[in-house]
Amino acid sequence: MRRVLMRPKHVLAALTALALTTASAGCGGSGGDDSDKTITVAYQKFGAFIQLDAQLQNVKKEYEAAHAGWTVELVPIEAAENDYYTKLSLMNRSPKTAPDVMYEDTFLINTDIQAGFLAPIDEYLSGWADWSQFTDAAKAAGKAQDGKTYGVPMGTDTRALWYDKTIFQKAGLTVPWEPKSWNDVLAAARTIKQKVPGVTPLNVYSGKGAGEGATMQGFEMLLYGTKHTLYDDAQKKWIVGSPGFNDSLGFIKTIFDEKLAPDPQDALDPNWGTKVNTELFPTGKLGISLDGSWTSSTWIESGSKPWPQWTEKLGYAAMPTQNGEAPGKTSMSGGWLLSVGAHAADKKASFDFVTTMLNKENTLKYDIAAGQIAERKDVAADPRYLESNPSLEFFTGLVDVTHFRPAYPDYPNVSNAIQVAMESVMTGQAPVDAAAKTFAEQVTSAVGGPDKVTTAS
């Protein structure tokens, strides 16, 4: 859900070999002869996230039928989140392998612009009538610090607590569940552990295996429910010391110390998120999971694990603020864009592919299949969209209390440091204070020194 988050050396070496193989195969339409009318499209195809692949296969046919002489070459990257970023970064380092169109996480826009990977598309957007259908917030998602736009949003998301109603009933917990504080969440998990043996009480993505999912779905869902954040907009400085940061780490430590969470070895598996939604929930082995609005896309008929019973078996509750402080609940939102590569030989043709993929009908199909919150006004108002998913109204309602990551070039380094801190407390390698101190040191170094950071009380 999105490339400086580098994986271990053996993974990097393997990905480098893949990039070289791609180059030797002449994959990149942008690096060859300008007369080569091929558009390469790079995107993530991994685990439960298969809807984009199916959609792009159909859009490829549509585009080629409407643009005589053009060929669309799809380049699916079958890798977990951090590895996807790394592979895409490797591809973009050479014009010969750089894709013409790429699936881009909004939080990496400024980082990838700085790296020279993306092309601004404002001149093309000005002539695209459909651009008026996108909300101002959606348009802002693709706009960088330089004021230019570098991508068209595919949809957005929110995050909350999914829970198994049957497990709650066995544990004697009230359904529907409406926790009012972190303590309420912990109390429910403790009750499940005591009264329903053989299930994992609570899943909160943690550590480097989960990548940005650990940072955003895990840590930031906690932190932004305190009175603190990661970035001080007034001072334009990163916050490296705050009670909210320590308390969030403390929550992670508690659930792992008390064995309310998965075994750390399982939680650190890059495939863990896929296992949660294709194995644990469908088989009644998980009580609560802090996850995204798109989760149900796994269980629909076109998903990777069709499970029609999910609408009856599962409930969803807003993540409460730490102690019930106003507004009482919190969420995080992100999203993905389709962007044009800086090395694309024909940027207008590449942009035309983006607009084909993200016209009204194709966006409607994708948002329904992938469980996305629509960012096109005409899609959001379409009865087919509104009636497509019983969880849609709930997750859309969280937009009013949601937060966004500070999408500055240094954010990936900050995110990586958060994952390190989470991993150190979940595995017992460091107490909370020591992990927070290491985080502060790593971030201070990564963002340019003490004058770029601040503390908060």
Give the pLDDT confidence of 392-442 residue by residue, as tens digits.
Answer: 999 999 999 999 999 899 999 999 999 999 999 999 999 999 999 999 999
pLDDT by residue (tens digit) across 169-217? 999 999 999 999 999 999 999 999 999 999 999 999 999 999 999 999 9
Contact 254, 189 (CB under 8 A): no
Residue ranges of domains in the chain, CATH in brackets: 9-156+335-389 (3.40.190.10), 159-333 (3.40.190.10)
pLDDT at 266 over 70: yes
Average pLDDT for the chain: 91
For residue 380, count other CB atoms closer than 10 A to its CB: 16
Give the gyration radius of the chain's Cα atoms: 22
pLDDT of residue 81: 82
Residue 49: the pLDDT is 66
Tell me the C-alpha distance between 12 and 24, whole Å. 18
Query: What is the separation of C-alpha 451 from the centre of its chain, rounded to a whole number of angstroms?
Result: 30
The model's pTM:
0.87
Contact residues for 238 (Cβ-Cβ < 8 A; gap 6+):
230, 231, 232, 406, 410, 414, 443, 447, 452, 453, 454
Helix ranges, 1-131 (H): 9-24, 51-66, 81-92, 109-114, 122-125
Contact 366, 157 (CB under 8 A): no
- Which one-letter DSSP state was computed for residue 372? P
Tell the residue number behind the tokens 């500055």, with chain if given.
408
Four-CA torsion 196, 202, 208, 211, nearest 10 degrees: 130
